[in-house]
Amino acid sequence: MRHALPAALSLLCLSAVARAHSGGGVTQLQPGEPWPVSQMKALVLGPDGKYQPDVIDFNKLRDGSALLFLAVDPVVKTDLAEARRLLALVKTLHNTHAFLVLPPARSLRPDDIMGAVQRAKLELPFLIDDRDYFPFAFQYGLGETPRYELFDNTQTLVIRGASTLSQRMPSGLTLAQAIRDLDQGKLIPQATFAARKGNVSPTER
């Protein structure tokens, strides 16, 4: 398993893409498109076992590993349960950088959520989405969690909007198996899951 390592101490280095969101510069990502973010603020587990503010530099993670994101609210029991299932899976992986993403409402005041993040003991970095980049780019509601986004080892979006590890892809694979396959460098069909309010069936390419 590969955990993303903090790359800078400044909290001012948010990606140019995320900064542009408020100005209309961010596009909605479709399967087959690359991960466009260079840096993002985060809460990262420090050597003392406590979370601390830092920055994730995605440019340093372009090492042939997959990228996995799970948007969760750590004070919602169902989200926390899903995050713990993911953590157990991530501990078996070797070529995947995994991140949890705080929803925008929590990201606006990360100090207020720090206690819940510490108590959750999820170990993975929490990205601070204070520009609501994830809901916009991946097209789901601001409070719609949990939501998975999965990129292959070329950092190309493969699965957008899945909600649980047990969820079946149009190919018949569960999301958990799709994650294992990508970790091994295998190719899997691309899939998009619509926001819940749309009640639209997933599509596969």
- Distance in angstroms (rounded) separating the CA atoms of residues 136 and 27: 8
So what's the pLDDT on residue 205? 52
pLDDT tens string 15-56: 333 343 433 457 899 999 999 999 999 999 999 999 999 999
Q: Kindly give the pairing relationship between strand 147-151 and strand 66-71.
A: antiparallel
Query: Using CA atoms, how far apart are residues 134 and 115, in angstroms rounded to an integer?
Result: 23
- pLDDT above 80 (res 5): no
Give whole-number Cα distances, 16 to 24, 155, 162, in Å: 12, 18, 26
Q: Which domains does the chain have, with CATH numbers?
A: 6-22+37-204 (3.40.30.10)
Q: What integer is the mean pLDDT of 126-138?
A: 95
Which runs of consecutive H residues, i.e. helices, occur in the chain?
16-20, 77-90, 104-107, 110-120, 133-138, 175-183
Give the global pTM: 0.84
